[in-house]
Amino acid sequence: MAKKKKNQRADGRLQKSFTYNGKRYYVYGHDKSEIEQKVYEKKLELKENKEQHENPTIETFFDRWMENRRGSISSATLRGQQCHFNTISKIVINDKAFKDYRLAEVKADDIRVIQKALLDSGNKTRTVNDKVSFISHIFHDALIERYIDFNPCMPVKPIKVTEVAARETIHRALTIDETKTFFDNAKNSYYYNIFKMAIQTGMRIGEIGALKNSDIYDGAIHVQRTITRSEDGSYYLGTETKTWHGKRTIPMNETIAEIIENQRKINRMLDGNVSSINDLIFKAPERGLLMATPVDREIKRICKRTGIKHFTCHGFRDTFATRCIEQGIPVKTIQELLGHADFGITMNLYGHVLDDTKEQAMNQLNIAL
């Protein structure tokens, strides 16, 4: 019987141990060459694991960052952040994709390369600034967790915005003449009551689509939830509004009450007389969830037919706010009707309308002396 070699296991394989960062590891092989190869590979693996723990790649840290945020922010927000990362992660800097860089090796100039690449890809300046701000958010959290000593996005200046704000284009408020023309030509549309509901209440389309019979009581609409999107992009009926302040009460006037009753009549014709207090009031033509895309498509069709400059369903919300300001409703009240978190948001969006009303007010002012 052959004599057993030192460090030889019962199965005939050789064993070797080594210490890495104060911890002992063992490798096994059939000969000295195999043992040395396995020691080399194990040390590389340990070094990589240590690097990934102490100085992970952008992709590794982002995956951890996203996992930590699940449950604390909405799935729609997570989806948007994942889309941002998918775009940015593939940008190549010095022959290496951004996602493969280690956190600590990213410099301000690398962020500027990303900024330029996004702009050259046809993104609007506002979109580029939003995406760089998103990257900065990730590095800010990495700084707090002490993975890095400096946020490389800090020295990078935002690009000067040159495009016309959305409130002047697709999110613009309709003029009184445009409003009349649009609704005169929308009477035969399935979405007619939805259009009217949006412009008469300032509600978002997702909020209108999530409105149940049980949300109408005490002469008011109680906004409790919205239609939202999951991380995979599918739509579902949420349990919350877009923001905490989105939960609000909108008093009903005769016009709004009539819109709701007319829609209920349509529902009875399409769904039968069986109706539950938990039924949705405004549904898609196919009787599923109401979504903004087909609503916008119908708006575009009517605009093309009438010659009205294109806008989206959000334009009804802006039109509601603009008419409120023009008719002297206090901005604080408008803030609450729209479900804005604070006064500043309302002023940033609609403060320009006040310039016109201020001019009218000064022209009408007559102080007796």
Listing DSSP states for 14-32 in one string gives EEEEEEETTEEEEEEESSH
H/E element, 220: strand 220-223
7 is a domain residue: no
**pLDDT, mean over the chain:** 84
Structure tokens at 99: 């996602």
Helical segments of 272-342, H only: 292-306, 314-326, 331-338
Are residues 143 and 154 in contact, defined by beta-carbon separation less than 8 angstroms?
Answer: no
Identify whether residues 132 and 150 lie together within a single domain. Answer: yes
Q: Please compute, for residue 248, the number of CA atoms within 13 A of its CA located in the half-sphere on the CB side.
A: 23
Statement to judge: residues 327 and 228 lie in one domain: yes
CATH number of the domain encompassing residue 144: 1.10.150.130
Q: Which of 163, 180, 205 is the last residue of a domain?
A: 163
In a domain, 236, yes or no: yes
211 and 107 share a domain?
Answer: no
Confidence of residue 196 (pLDDT cuts 50, 70, 90): very high
Q: Is 13 part of a structural domain of the chain?
A: no
Nearest to 340 by CA among 245, 251, 240, 225: 245
CA distance 347 to 310: 24
Round to the nearest angstrom and report the end-to-end CA distance of the chain: 125
- Do 171 and 274 belong together in one domain? yes
Range of the structural domain that residue 91 is part of: 58-163
Considering the domain architecture, whether residues 257 and 320 belong to the same structural domain is answered as yes
- Boundary (domain end) residue, out of 147, 163, 179: 163
Q: Are 153 and 282 in a shared domain? A: no
Residues 221 and 182 reside in one and the same domain: yes
Tokens coding 227: 């239609």
Identify the band that residue 152 occupies on the pLDDT scale cut at 50, 70 and 90.
very high
pLDDT at 341 over 80: no
* Domains identified in the chain, total number: 3
Residue 303 pLDDT class (50, 70, 90 cuts): very high
Q: Final residue of a domain: which of 141, 163, 185?
A: 163
In this structure, are strands 220-223 and 248-251 parallel, antiparallel, or unpaired?
A: antiparallel
3-state secondary structure 356-367: HHHHHHHHHCCC
**How much is the average pLDDT of 212-216?**
93
Q: Is residue 311 part of a domain?
A: yes
- From the number of C-beta atoms within 10 Å of its C-beta (0-12, 13-18, 19+), residue 59 rates as middle
> What's the pLDDT score for residue 215?
94
| pLDDT surpassing 50 at residue 1 | no
On whether both 84 and 104 belong to a single domain, the answer is yes
Confidence of residue 353 (pLDDT cuts 50, 70, 90): low
Q: Is residue 47 part of a domain?
A: yes
Do 262 and 246 belong together in one domain?
A: yes
Q: Any long-range contacts for 335-340 (C-beta under 8 Å, 24+ apart)? A: 336/248, 337/201, 337/202, 337/248, 337/250, 338/202, 339/223, 339/241, 339/242, 339/243, 339/245, 339/246, 339/247, 339/248, 340/245
User: What is the CATH classification number for the domain harbouring 296?
Assistant: 1.10.443.10
pLDDT given at position 49: 61
Confidence of residue 330 (pLDDT cuts 50, 70, 90): confident
The confidence band for 297, taking pLDDT boundaries of 50, 70 and 90, is very high
Inter-residue contact 201 to 319 (CB < 8 Å): no
- Phi first, then psi, for residue 184 (nearest 5°) are -65, -30
Helices 75-89 and 108-120 meet at what angle, rounded to 10? 100
Check residues 89 and 9 and name the one with the higher pLDDT. 89
**Residue-wise pLDDT tens digits, 236-261:** 887 777 666 678 889 999 999 999 99
Give the highest mean pLDDT range of 122-126, 212-216, 319-323, 359-363: 212-216
Are residues 220 and 324 located together in one domain of the fold? Answer: yes
Of 97-106, 262-271, 356-365, which range is least confident?
Answer: 356-365
Q: Please enumerate in sequence order all residues whose Cβ is within 8 A of that of 151, keeping only pairs 6 or more positions apart, or say none.
A: 136, 139, 140, 142, 143
Residue 278 lies in a domain: yes
The answer to whether residue 4 scores a pLDDT higher than 60 is no
In this predicted model, which residue has the larger pLDDT, 357 or 283?
A: 283
Higher per-residue pLDDT: 277 or 181: 181
Helices 125-144 and 58-69: crossing angle in degrees, nearest 10, is 80
Q: And the tokens for 184?
A: 């005169």
User: Regarding predicted confidence, which is higher, 40 or 114?
Assistant: 114
Over residues 103-132, mean pLDDT: 92
At 166 the pLDDT is 47
Residue 110 sits in the same domain as residue 230: no
Residue 130 lies in a domain: yes
- Same domain (yes/no): 239, 264: yes
Does residue 15 lie within any of the structural domains? no
pLDDT class of 69 with cuts at 50, 70, 90: confident
